[in-house]
């Protein structure tokens, strides 16, 4: 095998590893918040990371951990809640990435012994590679309630062609 082919395979493997790492972080969010693990949830973000879940904007790990231990969130998980994250659309650009996902918050309804979808949203997760690995720098969550903000996040994920042939997607920083 030539040095060029080995280098190409190494690049491809590094990209696959990056995509898997990003997928694992996004997949960890639901179990972290639904178990009430504030530190594990906050650890997904950089120290100055932001979680913008309009109208509330949480800045920094302490604020994100505080959301998990807060009265509203604790009430949800103690009555039965599941944060479900859809299959992510991942765009890589060197040491940054953007992941777009759907999300649903499902709540337990004790009166009917069932579950109901309380809200459905779309998320733009922005990542940076850090010495500790990939971390969220900003997550924007918008509800799919007919307003244009959620559709704009979805549209940004599919507007520009991806040079690797993974479909359409906007390039990070592009």
Does residue 163 belong to any structural domain of this protein? no
CA-CA distance, 69 to 110, in Å (whole number)? 23
pLDDT in tens, 28-82: 999 999 999 999 999 999 999 999 999 999 999 999 999 999 999 999 999 999 9
Query: Is residue 153 assigned to a domain?
Result: yes
The answer to the question of residue 45 being in a domain is: yes
Q: Is 31 helix (H, G, I), strand (E, B) or coil?
A: helix
| Domains identified in the chain, total number | 1
Position of tokens 């231990």? 69
Structure tokens that stand for 50 in this block: 């932001």
Separation of alpha carbons 115 and 99, rounded Å: 28
Confirm whether 122 is domain-assigned. yes
Is there a domain that residue 29 lies in?
yes
Report yes or no: 89 and 101 within 8 Å, Cβ to Cβ.
yes
Q: What angle do CA 132, 133, 135 make, to 5 degrees?
A: 100
Is 96 part of any domain? yes
pTM strictly above 0.85: yes
Domain range for 92 is 3-157
- CATH code at 87? 3.10.450.50
């Amino acid at each position: 095998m030539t040095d060029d082919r080995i280098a190409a395979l190494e690049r491809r493997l590094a990209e696959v590893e990056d995509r898997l790492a990003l997928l694992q972080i996004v997949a960890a969010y639901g179990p972290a918040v639904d178990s009430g693990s504030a530190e594990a949830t906050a650890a997904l973000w950089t120290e100055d990371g932001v979680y913008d879940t309009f109208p509330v904007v949480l800045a920094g790990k302490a604020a994100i951990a505080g959301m998990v231990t807060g009265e509203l969130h604790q009430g949800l998980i103690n009555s039965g809640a599941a944060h479900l994250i859809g299959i992510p659309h991942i765009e890589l650009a060197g040491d940054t990435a953007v992941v777009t996902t759907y999300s649903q918050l499902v709540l337990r309804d004790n009166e009917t012994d069932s579950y109901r979808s309380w809200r459905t949203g779309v998320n733009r997760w922005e990542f940076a590679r850090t010495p500790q690995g990939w971390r969220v720098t900003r997550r924007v969550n918008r509800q799919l309630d007919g307003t244009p903000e959620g559709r704009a996040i979805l549209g940004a994920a599919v507007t520009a062609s991806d040079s690797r042939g993974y479909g359409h997607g906007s390039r990070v920083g592009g």
